[in-house]
Structure 1
Amino acid sequence: MLSRSRGRVLITTVLLAVALTSCTEPRPSSVRFGYRSDDRGNVVIAYPLCPAHTVSGAEVTVRVQRGSTSSFKKLWGAMGAASNEVKRGVFTVGTPGSFRQEGKPLAEALPSGFYVRVKESTRDGESNSGREDWIDLSVQPSRALKPGEYLTSVGKIVSRQWVNDQLTCGKGS
């Protein structure tokens, strides 16, 4: 049987290991973005958003592996929502119509998988960190998407409402 002090040390060690791992390893998001292709083949994102927030920017990145180290390479980035639809979380990746300022224009076709990171602001203009999700274009819907439907990277067909309903938005959990 463990002594009380050894038990506390063991518990502290386990908690510390869990805390350090959660800080250094990416964790899968429980909140999914929706995505679909528009009639021109561009990727449209449906971002989960609470009513008190707006989208202020977005970027697309991919992980680049060099030997035993990896880093992220930005493929596209833009700021300043150009319409209310974009402010409310629906935007097109890599096109100048969704955001007023492209900080990094999309120089080549999107890969089959990439991260989308969205920057949020509150209505009073305070910046929030936002969320990111993996977009996997190799995942295909089980049927043709209807207007207003999106796909998640796990293959689920969802509505815009479903995307937003993932968030509690100040309602009790």
Structure 2
Amino acid sequence: MAPAVAAMAVVTACTIPGPTPPIAGFRLEGAELMIVMPVCPGAVVREAEAVVRVKGEGRGDGFKTLWKAVRPKVPEARRGVFAVGSARDFASEVMPVAGKLPNAYYVSVRFETAVHGYSGQDGEVDLSRLPSVTLGPDEYMTQRGKVMTRAQIEAQLPCGRASATPSP
């Protein structure tokens, strides 16, 4: 598994006011890169993919898919916590990783809610920050270099609050 990720998440349960999207967290657990995408209660992850920006059109949007998995099979993955590049947490790998993932890429996650259907948001993650940080059992690095717990990552979303701004 490669060490550098950027995250792009699709969130339906919440609308994030202002220009600051919520940030995802990441950590290495052995050889696996674990991602925590913030999701509101009631939102369910339906698919995840690792993509890399390419010159030209790539798949038509300037990105190339490196890995894609659908139908999370474990509760944690349905709530936004899963291993990137692994079929362990998903019922089907639509596109398995071919070779080693690059040091920099995005992770795109698609969510669904009964009320809003599908929609999304994005953020970045940089795993090159990990060698200089010792993370506790429930801590994750963010693309901004901040160490946060899963609860702190999820608390960025205004889920059900009338006016809230995600924490930087």
Please state which band the TM-score falls in when normalised by the shorter chain. Answer: 0.7 to 0.9
Q: Which residue of the partner structure matches residue 156 of structure 2?
A: 166
Q: CA–CA distance in 1 between the matches of 2:41 and 2:65? A: 28
Q: Does 1:31 align with 2:22?
A: yes
Alignment TM-score, normalising by the size of structure 2: 0.77
Matched position secondary structure for 1:161: helix
1:57 counterpart (36, 42, 47): 47
* Structure 1: runs of 5+ lacking an equivalent: 1-27
Contact 2:45 2:80 in 1 (8 A): yes
Matches within 5 A, 1:56-135: 56-66=46-56, 71-122=62-113, 124=114, 127-135=117-125
Structure with max Cα Rg: 1
Give the aligned partner of residue 43 of structure 1.
33
> Secondary structure of 2:123's match?
strand
Aligned mates of 1:125, 1:108 — CA distance in 2:
39
Report deviation, 1:110: 1.8
What one-letter code is carried by the residue in structure 1 that aligns with 2:96?
Answer: P
Preserved CA contact (<8 Å) 1:141 1:156: no
Conserved in 2, the CA contact under 8 Å of 1:59 and 1:116? yes
Q: Distance in 1 between matches of 2:116 and 2:71?
A: 14
- How far apart are 1:60 and its partner, in Å? 0.8
2:136 counterpart (123, 141, 146): 146
Q: CA deviation at 1:125?
A: 8.8
Q: Which has the higher helix share?
A: 1
Instruction: Give how far 1:134 is off.
Output: 2.0
Counterpart contact for 2:44–2:111, Cα < 8 Å: yes
Residue 142 of structure 1: how far off its partner (Å):
4.6
Aligned length: 142
Question: Could you say what the CA RMSD is over the residues aligned between the two structures, in angstroms?
Answer: 2.1
Cα distance in 2 between the residues matched to 1:110 and 1:167: 29
* C-alpha distance after superposition, 1:100-137 (max 9, x if no partner): 11111111222121111110011x49741233322212
TM score, norm. by length of structure 1: 0.75
- What does residue 15 of structure 1 align with? none
Is the aligned partner of 1:137 residue 2:127?
yes
